Structure 1
Amino acid sequence: MRYAALPVLLAACLSLALASPPPAAAQQTVTVYVDDAYPPYSYAVNGVALGVYPALLSRIFAGMPAYKVDLQPVPWKRGLRLLEQGEGFALAPPYYRPGERPWMDYSAPIMVESVVIFCNEAVAARLAEPRWPDDYYGLRIGVNSGFILGGPAFENARRLGKLTVEEARGTDENLKKLLLGRIDCYMNDRYAIQHALLRARSEDAYQRTARVIETGVLSQEYGYLGFTRQHHERWTYRTDFIRQFNHVLDELRRSGELAQIAERELRR
């Protein structure tokens, strides 16, 4: 009786095994780097990525169940270097600069930013309807390290020494230099400057400094998710990841959810 029951038991176990669903495919773990000093768009607090782009990216990645994505904040120039060397897979949010960064590919555009220039009150007073960059010759212009802004005419003026460009790490540091008179003007995204200005004005050291004034709109730029073009053999999922990312991004844009997330984060 004991041995006669064995075939029946085996058959029952086989039936259960066949009826059970196959195990879910393992998620591909991916690290995406984000700027750690570009508030309100992308910044870090205690090592956690916060801001508009991390919020948007997190929502997009939630629609890509095949991937488990870790957002890792890094200094911008380090993030660029990781992609240039093929040691990093993706970085947000670069502007579209294929000529200067031939080692980078781009997602579909995520959101638009208005690039403006703010100057101290004394400089702004003599800039009536200024021409860019001609009327800024002789001035010290602040930019974030690793950012490529201002356009070809500005870069040419920089090479010819018609103006001075000073780099600093992040919006807060640049704006404080502007408030203290260490630079004459600073160019970056409007929201980034406005948010940094509010934070700086809350500190005693900057409450009595001169006003800074927006003197011109230089361009509108889209932020992207950038991908390394180096070591394709290392990133076997690259083509599929970009395809899925662009698909979910497009769906969220069409539904209006993308704009809602951006607006909510900018108001924080």
Structure 2
Amino acid sequence: MLKWTLITLLLSWQANAFEPPIKVLVYGDDAYPPYSYVEDGIAKGIYSDILRRVFRDMPAYQVKIVPIPWKRGLKMLESGRGFALYPPYYYADKRLYISPYSKPILNEEVVVFCNTDSVKDRPLGKWPSDYLGLTIGVNEAFALGGNEFWDAVKAGKITISEAKGSRLSLIKLYEKKIDCYMNDRLSILWEIKRMTSDGLLPEGWQLTLGAVVSAEQGYLGFTTIQPEQYPYKDDFVKTFNSILTKLEETGELEGIVKAYLEQDL
């Protein structure tokens, strides 16, 4: 009897040991350089590099990163057709279909850059009260700016102009179709550098740096819809957070960011 029990346990252990990894799709913003963007069909950027490193230590899962337009990615989570998306900011009161959020992955600083002529002789230190009457460019489906800003938009005191990604917004800013552009500081400077290298913007284009709007953090966000489709969700989130913490503690995440920013365009 003991012999057959041992054989059964051995067979059970072997079956579990060779259980194939769970295939998981994770979506990433395809137009948010240098953090998350697509190039030749491949997800690139700082967040993409960090997530690939985390997923490498999650052998129970075979994760594929799929770059996708941000607005479509949010719709995927809202309908439950998508499992996870990066890098949303934490807006629990605006996107009730996202929960939980992972541990914070990166810190970002949201600022406003303006055409110098548009804001000449105008104070720019107070956000958003110093920007009333202006047209502010924002990325499509990004909920940046704070409640006071969006209340001013609803009241018609500030006009917004949406565009898909930093590049289109910066073209609008250069062509003076908008007065200012609000986004992450590093993302704006990175895209200006790339566009100048591509000949889309002139060397030495001068902008005026306005207010610091907020300090934000990027996350991996998970859908709350159709939970039966993702029975592995709790374990995935727990494992992801644990590995992310270890990589932060060892300094490996900081190394990824530093190496990425030192790359030549």
TM-score with structure 2 length normalisation? 0.90
Greater CA drift, 206-215 or 47-56: 206-215
User: Deviation digits for residues 119-164 of structure 1, max 9, x if unmatched?
Assistant: 0011343233531111101101000001000101101101100010
Structure 1 contact 121–210 (Cα < 8 Å) conserved = no
Structure 2 contact 54–244 (Cα < 8 Å) conserved = yes
Structure 2 contact 124–130 (Cα < 8 Å) conserved = no
d(CA) in 2 for partners of 1:141, 1:30: 37
Structure 1 contact 110–224 (Cα < 8 Å) conserved = yes
d(CA) in 1 for partners of 2:198, 2:52: 32
User: Displacement, 1:210?
Assistant: 5.5
Matched, 1:80 2:65: no
d(CA) in 2 for partners of 1:98, 1:158: 21
**Match of residue 213 from structure 1:** 208
Matched, 1:178 2:173: yes
Identity %: 44
d(CA) in 1 for partners of 2:205, 2:58: 48
d(CA) in 2 for partners of 1:50, 1:205: 21
Matched, 1:191 2:186: yes
TM-score with structure 1 length normalisation? 0.89
Q: Which has the larger radius of gyration?
A: 1
Greater CA drift, 72-81 or 22-31: 22-31
Q: 3-state DSSP class of the match of 1:83? A: helix
Amino acid at match of 2:19: A
Q: 3-state DSSP class of the match of 1:121? A: coil
User: Deviation digits for residues 68-101 of structure 1, max 9, x if unmatched?
Assistant: 1000000000000000000000000000001110
- Structure 2, unmatched stretches of 5+, are 1-6
Q: 3-state DSSP class of the match of 2:118? A: helix
Q: 3-state DSSP class of the match of 2:72? A: helix
Alpha-carbon spacing, 1:55–1:210, altered in 2? closer, same or farther (3 Å): closer
Q: How does 1:54-65 map to 2 (within 5 A)?
A: 54-65=48-59
Amino acid at match of 2:48: P
d(CA) in 1 for partners of 2:54, 2:64: 13
CA RMSD of superposed structures (Å)? 1.8
User: Displacement, 1:176?
Assistant: 1.0
**Match of residue 35 from structure 1:** 29
User: Displacement, 1:166?
Assistant: 0.8
Alpha-carbon spacing, 1:61–1:216, altered in 2? closer, same or farther (3 Å): same
d(CA) in 2 for partners of 1:87, 1:98: 20
User: Deviation digits for residues 173-231 of structure 1, max 9, x if unmatched?
Assistant: 10111011010000000110001111222344531795222112111100000000000
Greater CA drift, 69-78 or 114-123: 114-123
d(CA) in 1 for partners of 2:200, 2:87: 31
Amino acid at match of 1:78: R
Q: 3-state DSSP class of the match of 1:154? A: helix
Amino acid at match of 2:53: R
Alpha-carbon spacing, 1:109–1:204, altered in 2? closer, same or farther (3 Å): closer
Amino acid at match of 1:109: P
**Match of residue 8 from structure 1:** none
Structure 1 contact 120–210 (Cα < 8 Å) conserved = no
Matched, 1:126 2:132: no
- Structure 1, unmatched stretches of 5+, are 1-13
**Match of residue 243 from structure 2:** 248
Give the number of aligned pairs: 252
Matched, 1:91 2:85: yes
Structure 1 contact 43–51 (Cα < 8 Å) conserved = yes
